[in-house]
Structure 1
Amino acid sequence: MRPLEGHHAIVTGGGSGIGAAIARTLAAQGARLTLVGRRAAPIEALAHALHGTAVTADVTDRAQVDAALAHARAANGPVTILINNAGAAESTPFARIDAAGWRRMMAINLDAVFHCTQAALPDLRAASAGRIVTVASTAALKGYAYTAAYAAAKHGVLGLTRSLALELAGTSVTVNAVCPGFTDTAIVAEAAANIARISGRTPDAARAELARFNPQGRLITPEEVAASVLWLCLPDSGSITGQAIAIAGGEVM
């Protein structure tokens, strides 16, 4: 048997980038999948390819999260693995962040983790090996200029992860975070485009500047992040909890 046979994994933001790589990796190891996202087309296409379920929902809205979980359970049974992957990044000098921008970053990067985790928790506690893995960022471990709201939200995610891991330490549920550095996704492509527009450099030069944060001199691949997530989800990873796994090529935190 594949190690995740019999498990039901929910992946938020699962239609592209890191979320899609995680979905493919978990499915390859036998998990039944529910992909949740705001954009129907990408999650429906991937869910069809992986014989999973797609649920269109805004994970910053608790009522939509509860409805999505009910749909997921009806399709695939109780949730045993929750991957909190949905997120977004905005780059703005701190003095120019307005309340709406601050709230956007908190809503998608922190509030959504709270809503999804709390909604799935009864199922996870009842599972023989419940797993919660949140895709955070190296911004959960250190600061970056011009990303104060994003970094604050990701630091909050790590605090939530560590606190909940201790709260659930006497159960079968583990709670961990993975913290990728700059990863070859649409978010980094948008960041590179912004750098190029502001600085006059080419998009390739802007991507190279982001890659230089990694001592290995490259962007992380979504598949590398997915491999670490899979390891944390395996049944024999039950003693690993409350951790923040940096996937960053040796970048100093």
Structure 2
Amino acid sequence: MDGRVVAVTGGHGVLGRAVVQAALTRGWRVAVVDHAMGHAAPDGVLEIGGVDLADPTQADAAVARVIERFGRLDALFNIAGGFVWQTTDDAAPAWDRMFALNLSTALNASRAALPHLKASDAGRIVNVGSAAALKAGAGMGAYGASKAAVHALTQSLAEELKTTAVTVNAVLPSIIDTPANRADMRDADPAQWVAPADLAAVILFLASPESRAMTGALVPVTGRV
């Protein structure tokens, strides 16, 4: 599997960095696509910053840069996204923003990557959904709905690609152990949450040849929550 080329959207976030490191450890070649700029990427990683993946033109341009650098693309990890806790009667509804950050980014990146993934002998798309989309709690409507849309995209695209070698799956984490979540939930036990490295391991499995029989799967990764 050495030499496989993977693109990681949202690669500068906590989960994105864990996925990048895990891919590099396997000898894969990595491109990071992120809205943020000015971050230092590990040696050999193609850094593509300042990209708004909610804009399909920018998504196309980012994937074109990956192909220009590496000549191929074998896997796309759609990690870019966002979260907001907000009740439905909030004065400034975040529904459009959640769908732009969570659904549009995954959709546009996938559409841009598809021609190249189809040319791979084992093309892979791995999306990040959410366990919260299965039963949204109070304040989780906008976020949960946008992630439920990611689940639907995953399953529909998997069906569309069943005549190819491309598989499409999603991981559904609960609470990820990040500095932001620790700050927001000081009384919780982070040991019960999902470690970024553990979630990254599942994501990389779904990008491996061993997962060829899995497509359209929504894989819960919920720790001890």
Range of TM-score over shorter length: over 0.9
Which amino acid letter does the alignment assign opposite residue 12 of structure 1? T
Q: Secondary structure at the match of 2:181?
A: helix
Match of 2:8 in 1: 11
Q: Distance in 2 between matches of 1:38 and 1:232?
A: 25
Q: Contact (CA 8 Å) 1:27, 1:50: kept in 2 or not? A: no
Q: Distance in 1 between matches of 2:5 and 2:137?
A: 36
Q: Distance in 2 between matches of 1:140 and 1:102?
A: 14
| Range moving further from structure 2, 135-144 or 233-242 | 135-144
Instruction: Find out whether 1:204 has 2:197 as its counterpart.
Output: no
Structure 1 residues 248 and 97: CA distance shift in structure 2, 3 A: farther
Q: Contact (CA 8 Å) 2:192, 2:224: kept in 1 or not? A: no
Q: Deviations over 1:79-114 (max 9, x none)?
A: 110000001100111111645x21110001001111
Q: Contact (CA 8 Å) 1:24, 1:50: kept in 2 or not? A: no
The within-5 A match list for 1:2-151 is 3=1, 5-42=2-39, 45-46=40-41, 49-56=42-49, 57-96=51-90, 98-99=92-93, 101-151=94-144
Q: Secondary structure at the match of 2:47?
A: strand
Which amino acid letter does the alignment assign opposite residue 238 of structure 1? R
Q: Distance in 2 between matches of 1:97 and 1:241?
A: 40
Match of 1:200 in 2: none
Report how far residue 150 of structure 1 moved: 0.5
| TM-score, L = length of structure 1 | 0.84
Match of 1:222 in 2: 196
Report how far residue 189 of structure 1 moved: 4.1
Number of residues of Structure 1 aligned to a counterpart in Structure 2: 224
Structure 1 residues 136 and 97: CA distance shift in structure 2, 3 A: farther
Q: Distance in 1 between matches of 2:53 and 2:179?
A: 20
Which amino acid letter does the alignment assign opposite residue 124 of structure 1? L
Q: Distance in 1 between matches of 2:91 and 2:16?
A: 28
Structure 2 residues without counterparts, runs of 5 or longer = none
Report how far residue 250 of structure 1 moved: 5.5
Q: Contact (CA 8 Å) 1:134, 1:178: kept in 2 or not? A: yes
Select the structure that is richer in helix: 1
The CA RMSD over aligned residues, in Å, is: 1.6
Q: Distance in 2 between matches of 1:116 and 1:76?
A: 17
Q: Contact (CA 8 Å) 1:14, 1:20: kept in 2 or not? A: yes
Q: Deviations over 1:145-204 (max 9, x none)?
A: 1011100000000011011111111110000000111011245246x1xxxxxxxxxx52
Q: Secondary structure at the match of 1:175?
A: strand
| TM-score, L = length of structure 2 | 0.94
Q: Identity of aligned pairs, percent?
A: 35
Which amino acid letter does the alignment assign opposite residue 90 of structure 1? V
Structure 1 residues 50 and 242: CA distance shift in structure 2, 3 A: farther
Match of 1:240 in 2: 214
